[in-house]
Chain A
Amino acid sequence: MTAATAVPLLALIPFAAALALAATGNTRRRFAAWLAGLATLAALALVAATGPAVFSGAVLHWSVEWVPALSLTLGFRLDGLAWMFALLITGIGALVVLYAAYYLDAKDPAARFFMFLLLFMCAMLGVVLADNLVLLVVFWEATSLTSFLLIGFWQHRADARAGARMALTVTGLGGLCLLAGVLLIGHICDSVQLDVVLASGDLIRAHPMYVPALILVLLGCFTKSAQFPFHFWLPHAMAAPTPVSAYLHSATMVKAGVFLLARLYPALGSSEPWFWIVSLTGLTTLLLGAYTALFKHDLKGLLAYSTISHLGLITLLFGLDQPLAVVAGVFHILNHATFKASLFMVAGIIDHETGSRDMRRLNGLWKYMPWTGALAMIASAAMAGVPLLNGFLSKEMFFAEIIRHQGHVALQWLLPLGATLAGAFGVAYSLRFIHDVFFNGQPVGLTKVPHEPPRFMRITVEMLVVACLAVGLTPDWTIAHVLAVGARGALHGGIGGTLPAYSLAIWHGLNLPLLMSAIALITGVALYFSLHRWVNLHRLDSTPALPKHGGRDVFLILLENGRQRAVAVTSGLQNGSLQRYLLLLILFAMVAGAWPIVTASAPALAQSPAPEPGFGFIVIWMIGLAAVAATVIMHERRLLALLPLGAVGLVVSLTFVYFSAPDLALTQLLVEVATIILMMLALHWLPAESAPGTRGSPARCTRDAIVAIAAGGGVAWLAWSVLKLPVESISPYFLETTKSLGGGTNAVNVIIVDYRGFDTMGEITVMGVAALIIHGLLSDWRPAEAPALPTRPGDTHPLMLALVARLLLPLAAMVSLYLFLRGHNLPGGGFIAGLVLAIALVMQFVGSGREFVAQRMSMDFHVWIGWGLLIAGATGIGSWFVGAPFLTSTYDYPIWPLVGEVPLASASLFDLGVYLTVVGSTMVALIGLARLSATEPPR
């Protein structure tokens, strides 16, 4: 296995393990934990395996095509920065899995938890490893989605659901901004590949779209990394199980934002807008977070605001736009991840073993859990930036870079002042975390006696604390190489480049940064104890000197506002009245239809000569118009209205005859018969008349009449305009080739079964589905009470009708067969022949009653639909076997014995499928309705 192929495996292993967990039950806790742990360790091993290549300066690439049309690849790219993050993600991931195995309650669905955790790990690895920006955004959104699932893991808790929703909304919206920014960058560079983008910093910065792209990308970073004013989601995400907080909210998810700042620094950094936006956002967040953290009573709340503050610090470092500041930022990412993960785990242990996270109740735990307390002290000291710990080193570098910054006069005072102040608050809240929890009197009203956690739960904290100490004491032996590759990746995107000179020594002599550290330390200690003595932090209910309402309230107001508007729009449009929807639909169709005619210039009217109407046609349509009017006028007396409706259908059929469409005329005539029978059957179960008084007000009828006349006028106008235009059509091709290619002279039928066979396939499928819907709705259903039929003795089944129908059946079957066979050359075909047979069969019902028919033939016509579709489909698939596309037709003229030459096209077999489907569908619909009046119970 080459080093490059290890890169995709790295992201794939957690994903595969998550899939495996999805298949296991939640009861197998140990199995789930072991699987998750081993998968994470395997990924960690791959990170270690790729280490030598990365340290030698190589950038590992692996990619496959994803969307070739957009030249997008599914590719991974491992440089120093990505490697460093992969180490964090898998290393801390392994510890978190071990921790969670002990933290989770027996009631919690363990497999689901570890599945979500692994999915998140995969998404996070994808973010850092993606070799192009679009793929990065995809994984970025995947981290938002999986973190939603993890924060809301305790689904029964309202605060967990709300916190998860808020995190998803804020980071998801940021992700959309990021996508837009990424697309802009892709537009500028003509590529979204990181290799290209990172090498075209000058091109990007000189482009007019640079500032919009920068702001959009930064919105993505700031929402993800909880920067002011989007920081409010992070404290609410503390409703997550503590392993999730230790993982997502210290080492990974919130670091995705600062990762992207580091990643895109070569492309977007080194500019005025970058400096001002990033550094000021960072400074504000740093101060706000550090100040607020001091006044939180919830352990995790304190840690959340502390995290916000440290993320602000990192952001500020990247914003300073100095090479060494970038190094310091990368360094602090590593250090913060270690001490903050361990502190979250301590908070989880305390919560787990005492049942509370409230610092007003947790006091004097030192005598119950001294070992945990000692670990917490070291980690807190690292957080406060006490010498000999890792936090001190990066904080010193931070102070040094703040002082080094030149050029902006106002900031030369503001930055050091703000940094020292934030440092003092950092010391104060770190002190509070220790003093308030482990000392300061006795526990208040705890539900259980506190005790040390299980051995393996604590070992995770121990390992992280050892890391804090090791880095703090011997930075050159432990972290220097990792930091060097990471920083080089951030500064130069893995493409060559050198690092600025820096030293990780603990002692740099007496200098200004050390003085700032000392001031911060002394002020912080003094601040905490004076607040403790004279103000009593426990009695403060909110953060003093800050407005009570913050970003969270604005967010909630916006959300509620949006919801109300959505409800208003929806209920305004959708009031549940079908008539209203139809009216809107018709009006819209009218506007859409009239628009092009009104706006377009009138085409040159080359009048095509039209024949003058014959007397017969005029008479037919006089009857037709009268029948339309009669249908509308008499529609409330329903049975009666069917008479003019049938007449309209006949007139339409005659129109088809008159205008050279014999196939249509036949189809229309047959459908008309079937429709009228169907409606009469249905009317048996519907009111015979529209209920009086439900017609609607006269005003409403007038309005509808106006709309109807306008619609009719529009259609008439449209038809009249079109009919005058000369025709341009692809149809000559069909006429020319119907015989030579389709093997039939009836061009209409050849088009249906051959040229547009696939279309017809779809249409008979629709017809079959419609019939099956009817079958499903009616086959197992009986009306509660049947309306009484007006019965007169002797005339239930008129003798004449019964006899004629019976005599006609074989004749009709013959006609049907004849129409079917000749369809390819003369009017006829599967649709028409099928309707003929169906109607002849239905006439038996009408003439002799359904019992008579049921005794003589199977009623299971839905089987016909299946056979029809099967035959039609098989004909289509058959052409695959001769290497032709679906439904390619062929034909021959075999000589049959006795009959002679018979044209036989494969399309005829397809037509047989149409035939069977049409018979089956029509019969299912009609029988379904007819059967309702049967006395026997449904089968």
Chain B
Amino acid sequence: MMAALIAIALGALTAGGVYLMLRARSFDLILGLTLLSYAVNLFIFFMGRIRIGAAPIVDGKLAPTLANYADPLPQALVLTAIVISFAMTAVLLVIALRARAATGSDHVDGRDPIQ
């Protein structure tokens, strides 16, 4: 049940992200990428499986095993991924902005298709 709910959430994020990435406007593309990166980050995170109330702070009260703590490795991977995707979003936004100023269009190809 829990797994199903998580799967639906990831699916919805991916679907929304992919749909927006296929739009023709640079800003829509960036919105889509943001949604997709949520999905990807959550997916990697959940590779450590579903754990509640077991933050990986090894304070010595419990034996240091995966039975007592959540998997710290995917968390470490995702933490840096979140920050990097922020940096990449910023770069894309700036490129979108410069591209629009340079071409006069915010179409992803730099020009609106001939109608």
Measured CB to CB, the residues of A under 8 A from B are 576-579, 582-583, 586, 608, 610-613, 617-618, 621, 624-625, 628-629, 631-632, 635-636, 638, 641, 645, 648-649, 652, 655-656, 658-664, 667-668, 671, 674-675, 678-679, 682-683, 685-687, 690-691, 694-696, 704-705, 707-709, 711-720, 722-724, 727, 729-732, 734-736, 738-739, 745-749, 751-752, 756, 759-760, 763, 766-767, 770-771, 773-774, 777-778, 781, 783-784, 825-827, 831, 835, 918, 921-922, 925, 928-929
Contact = CB atoms under 8 A, between A and B. Distances in A.
A777 B95 contact: yes
B26 A727 contact: no
Contacts of A722: 46-47
A727 B48 contact: yes
B78 to A, nearest CB: 6
Contacts of B94: 682, 773-774, 777-778, 925, 928-929
Contacts of A704: 18-19, 22-23
A280 B66 CA distance: 76
B28 to A, nearest CB: 5
Contacts of B50: 610-611, 659, 723
B3 A720 contact: yes
B16 A735 contact: no
A732 B2 CA distance: 24
Of all A-B residue pairs in the complex, the 10 with the closest CB atoms, nearest first, are A712-B15, A716-B11, A747-B72, A708-B19, A720-B7, A751-B76, A770-B87, A660-B70, A712-B11, A723-B3
B43 to A, nearest CB: 6
- Which of B31, B45, B106, B108 counts the most chain A CB atoms within 10 A? B31
B58 A745 contact: yes
Contacts of B88: 770
16 contacts: A577-B109, A610-B1, A648-B13, A659-B70, A663-B79, A678-B89, A687-B100, A704-B19, A712-B18, A713-B15, A727-B47, A738-B72, A760-B80, A763-B83, A763-B84, A831-B79
Contacts of A618: 5
Contacts of A921: 87
B20 A632 contact: yes
A928 B85 CA distance: 18
- Which of A583, A652, A656, A748 counts the most chain B CB atoms within 10 A? A748
B34 A731 contact: no
Contacts of A632: 16, 19-20
Contacts of B87: 766-767, 770-771, 921, 925
A194 to B, nearest CB: 52
A161 to B, nearest CB: 34
Given A628-B12, A660-B51, A735 B38 contact: no
Given A715-B39, A925-B90, A659 B52 contact: yes
Contacts of A636: 28
Given A659-B45, A659-B52, A918-B83, A711 B15 contact: yes
- Which of A625, A658, A659, A771 counts the most chain B CB atoms within 10 A? A659
A745 to B, nearest CB: 5
A321 B56 CA distance: 78
Given A659-B70, A748-B72, 9 more contacts: A577-B109, A578-B108, A613-B1, A655-B9, A659-B46, A715-B11, A771-B90, A784-B101, A929-B93
- Which of B10, B29, B38, B54 counts the most chain A CB atoms within 10 A? B38
A723 B3 CA distance: 6
Nearest to B4: A720
B23 to A, nearest CB: 7
A732 B15 CA distance: 34
